[in-house]
Structure 1
Amino acid sequence: MNKKKRRLLIRTIILIVLTSAVAYTLYANFTKDERGMLKAGDKAPDFVLTDMDGNTHRLSDYEGKGVFLNFWGTWCKPCEREMPYMNNQFKKYQDQGVQILAVNVGESDFLINRFVSKHGLEFPILVDKEEEVQNAYGIDPLPTTFLINPQGKIEKIITGTMTENDIIEDLESIKP
């Protein structure tokens, strides 16, 4: 194969790859509103994730309990501000039929463990490595919290930082 033909082949492959990337980006942007458009009253999508201790958590296993489902990242300052409040209330509400689950959005175990140790977090920290749960719930921005009632329906969706009083009110609202 001479140089001209090889160059033409490489340019054609590059052009195909770039065209595919542009087409995918356009498709993803035009359909993002249809994906993850959960609202209050919807059934919360079930999922199975593993926590930092290797335990498996399935949302449907918590039916009959209220679930405070928080999506967060170690780099997110508003997430960092509300984590100690969640930890304080976890201790109080875990015996009242309310479970706090914090889903990290695909970061490394090292970063998550360092964050958990720094803040002394005791509630389950689930890891969504493949970002499947984040996509199913349409998470944007962080932090986002879903209040799920004991029947598995979404009561409320909260984006942004919460105060400790906000968290207490929210946990009370989903208590069985």
Structure 2
Amino acid sequence: MYTSGTAGDARRRSSRQQLRFGSGLFEPHQRKDRPAAPIIGSSRHLPRHSRAMSRTLLLSLLILVSGPVAADSDPDPTAALAAIGDLGRLNGQALACRQTASASQAKTLMIRHAPKTRRYGEVFEERTSEAFLAQGRDVAACPSAEVLRGRLDDLSLRLQSLLPVGQPAAR
């Protein structure tokens, strides 16, 4: 029967295993065990400056998240809705009178200024439909393109003061 080594080889092999697995060679106070895996969100494993930085980051994120909520309180949402309603009326009138440039400008103003909410969209669509049907009954009373452009310019200034570009409004 063939043996694969001597007693010295066996001792070396067992000492290598002990080194590899960390058992028995060192006293418990001499072992360099790996620290436990940190718990996610726990700051006890972070140095002091990192804890302060994580608190600062958390605070800044809370401020950023609460910013749109604070800006959501529009002082007069009825005035903004009335302006969007007027824009819808001009859009309906322009569509009924086949003034595509004015209708396109009205839609552009709606997209640019109005918040992307159902309430504003419904007001715009309802007023557009009402004005389109009312203008369709009396085609002879269509305003000229210049008159529509002037009204749209005035309404654009009004919308800019009520709903500046990029500002959310009350829902």
Q: Same fold (TM over 0.5)?
A: no
Structure 1 or 2, whichever has the larger Rg, is 2
| Structure with more of its chain in helix, by fraction | 2
Q: TM-score range by the shorter chain?
A: 0.3 to 0.5
Higher relative contact order (Cα pairs below 8 Å, separated by 6+ residues)? 1
TM-score in terms of structure 1 length? 0.32
